[in-house]
Homo-oligomer: A and B are copies of this chain.
Amino acid sequence: MKKYKKLYRIAGLMLAGTLLLALVTTSTYAADSQKKTVDPLPSWNEGATKSALIDFVEAVTKKGSKDYVEPAARIATFDNDGTLWVEAPMYTQMLLAIDRVKALAPQHPEWKTTQPFKAVLEGDMETVGASGAKGVMEIVLATHSGMTAAEFEKTVTDWLATHKHPKFNRLYTECIYQPQLELLAYLRANGFKTFIVSGGGVAFMRPFTEKAYGIPPEQVVGSSVVTEFQIKEGKPELIRQPKMGFNNDKAGKPVGIYQHIGRRPILAFGNSDSDMQMIEYTMAGEGRRMGLFVHHTDAEREYAYDRKSHIGTLDKALDEAKKNGWIIVDMKKEWKKVFPDLK
């Protein structure tokens, strides 16, 4: 009787082993076949750009390839406004600033008679626009400083959770480009570290980039105001000052990359002439590289603008792209879908 029990146990163990083996074999096979058939960029139409992206990623990740790049050096940088999310009809950060001027107006009676604040309060956006970069900077500094880091973060988070884009009737953080989400994920799955390198405020972007794009705060490079550490009533605080710190735009982008990341990207993606220096810096490194610009050509699904736009201007880069091997991504033609579905 005892002997039989032992035999039964051995048989049972062997059966379990066989099932396990079958399971392992099947799942390995499934993973293999999946690898070959799943499209990593389903929202990109078939064509030259999609092929170039996949070809690039395969070349730099394949061991033994002449273009192979060590995982640590696989740095990809993306502009934010107009490259990862909608920047029209106005930068989202500027919309927040305008709302903050209105909210803070009772504490600033002088704004009723001082430009550009007077124009903001009167909704006279033409005068605001005419105040130029200096006026915009005044509005940004007045609304982005004079509070702790934590207070500003809360202001941004609350605003983004409650304001929708007028054309798309969805939260601004939902006006993000589905093809770019797929590209970011595809790059990360292939060992890339993905960064945002934007002229926008770093403290404005960080509260939403992880949830929206899977990019953590420490991988966001942007403009900043001077910030001071103070101990107030025994509590250490970071106080945002009404003074511009680093301007991470145009020629500031490669500098921001140097100071923050400390390595040259091998892929960079922008959408306007303000991204040219980042792309130039990226392309000037050794080995295989890739530089791309989103071209906003889709008035129906998004917006159409380029050369003489008051939004983002894609002009010089459009002319020089071919000569420099930069890829211009025609949104209308190359993106099967613009925004992610909402749950």
Contacts and interface: CB of A to CB of B under 8 A. Distances in A.
A8 interface: no
Given A18-B17, A251-B229, A259-B224, A216 B72 contact: yes
A259 B235 contact: no
Interface string A245-256: 110000111110
A280 interface: yes
Interface in A150-182: none
A193 interface: yes
Contact of A227 (B219, B227, B245, B255): B255
Interface of A: 13-22, 24, 72, 75, 149, 193, 195, 202-203, 206, 210, 216-220, 224, 227-229, 231, 235-236, 238, 245-246, 251-255, 258-263, 277, 280-281, 284
B218 A238 contact: no
A85 to B, nearest CB: 18
A229 B255 contact: yes
Nearest to A72: B216
Contact of A259 (B17, B216, B245, B277): B245
A259 B210 contact: no
Given A18-B13, A24-B20, A284-B235, A258 B149 contact: yes
Contacts of A210: 72
Contacts of A220: 262
A277 B13 contact: no
A280 B24 CA distance: 52
Nearest to A17: B17
Contacts of A21: 13, 16-17, 20
